[in-house]
């Protein structure tokens, strides 16, 4: 039977042509299609995902610690720089809980959800349905067969006005070949690939605007955000050093580290009837 060369895009619904086929996980054939109308590349029918997520965090993810630390610094800086009032935040792909623990240590009341990974660092702070003004989706969207539907569902569930995320975008005028490192054929987990035009399209579909903070750091938001990279780069060291002038000029929240310990300890005492 002849293999189909055209597929419907899960985002735009338009016909797309196949770019190439490649083996993933060392044994499965994956077909990569390109939606040129919005600059989006996707893998058709990734039936191997259950096996790919046998371990949610891949063995090759050596940057997990430095990345989560950097993301916590970026998000806390962007929140303070834009004077965003965050009563509750949610990590839409909590992983081991490193980001949520980092944000709570900085004084931001963040929670998490993740259907694949075992959360080790932020147990006890699972997200409940309801308003979370800020969401994050780091290392999430590229793992989804329909990232737009994921965002729409998450927005309905948490009613956030801003979602910070990372994206490794390709150039629509110079499509990556099969040697691009970001395909990550070895793990089979990356199945959606974006250009900036894709991100702008998704932003419009969730009634938000796209903001680029530089590098791979973006946000969807219904607010008007300040994004100047020079301000972010100059502020991050002040956050890390807890600079006194910075604390005077801005309402830097009090760390939740100690209060979280008391909260979790009290819950354990109740559970054990102590």
Distance between CA atoms of residues 189 and 144, nearest Å: 9
pLDDT at 92: 96
Read off the pLDDT band of 197 (50, 70, 90). Answer: very high
Per-position DSSP letters for 109-125, written without gaps between them? -EEE--SSS---SSTT-
Read off the pLDDT band of 196 (50, 70, 90). Answer: very high
**Domains in the chain, start-ordered, CATH in brackets?**
6-52 (no CATH), 64-271 (3.40.50.150)
pLDDT at 181: 94
Q: Is 63 exposed, middle or buried (0-12, 13-18, 19+ CB in 10 A)?
A: exposed
Q: Sign of the CA dihedral 175, 179, 182, 186?
A: positive
Q: What is the pTM of this model?
A: 0.84
Distances in Å between the alpha carbon of 269 and those of 101, 201, 264?
A: 22, 49, 9
| Average pLDDT rounded to a whole number, residues 27-38 | 97
List all residues 6 or more positions away from 262 whose beta carbon is below 8 Å from its beta carbon: none
Q: Could you give the maximum distance between any two Cα atoms of the chain, in Å? A: 70
Residue 134 phi/psi, 5-degree rounding, is -125, 135
Q: Which of 25-29, 58-62, 121-125, 256-260 has the lowest mean pLDDT?
A: 58-62
Tens of pLDDT, residues 67-88 = 888 999 999 999 999 999 999 9
Alpha helices (H) in 25-146, listed in sequence order: 49-52, 64-81, 98-105
| In contact, 88 and 158? CB cutoff 8 Å | no
SS3 category, 224? coil
Read off the pLDDT band of 2 (50, 70, 90). Answer: very low
Question: With 50 as the cut, is the pLDDT of residue 103 above it?
Answer: yes
């Amino acid at each position: 039977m002849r293999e189909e060369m055209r597929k419907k895009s899960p985002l735009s619904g338009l016909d797309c042509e196949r770019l190439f086929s490649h083996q993933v996980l060392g044994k499965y054939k994956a077909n990569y299609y390109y939606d040129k109308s919005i600059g989006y590349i996707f893998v058709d029918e990734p039936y191997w995902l259950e096996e790919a997520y046998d371990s949610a965090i891949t063995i090759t993810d050596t940057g997990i610690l430095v990345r989560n630390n950097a993301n916590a610094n970026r998000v806390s800086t962007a929140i303070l720089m834009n004077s965003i009032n965050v009563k509750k935040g949610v990590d839409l792909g909590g992983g081991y809980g490193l980001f949520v623990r980092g944000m709570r240590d900085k004084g931001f009341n963040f929670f998490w959800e993740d259907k694949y990974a075992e959360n080790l660092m932020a147990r006890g702070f699972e997200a409940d349905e309801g308003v979370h003004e800020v969401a994050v989706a780091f290392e999430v969207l590229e793992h989804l067969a329909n990232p737009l539907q994921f965002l729409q569902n998450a927005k309905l569930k948490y009613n956030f006005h801003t979602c910070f995320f990372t994206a490794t975008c390709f150039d629509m005028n110079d499509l990556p070949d099969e040697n691009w490192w970001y395909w990550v054929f070895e793990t089979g987990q990356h199945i959606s690939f974006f250009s900036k035009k894709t991100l702008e399209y998704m932003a419009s579909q969730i009634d938000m605007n796209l903001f680029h903070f530089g590098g791979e750091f973006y946000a969807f938001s219904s607010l008007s955000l300040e994004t100047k990279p020079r301000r972010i780069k100059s502020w991050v060291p002040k956050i890390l050093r807890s600079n006194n002038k910075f604390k005077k000029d801005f309402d830097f929240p009090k760390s939740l580290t100690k209060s979280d310990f008391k909260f979790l300890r009290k819950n354990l005492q109740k559970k054990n009837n102590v």
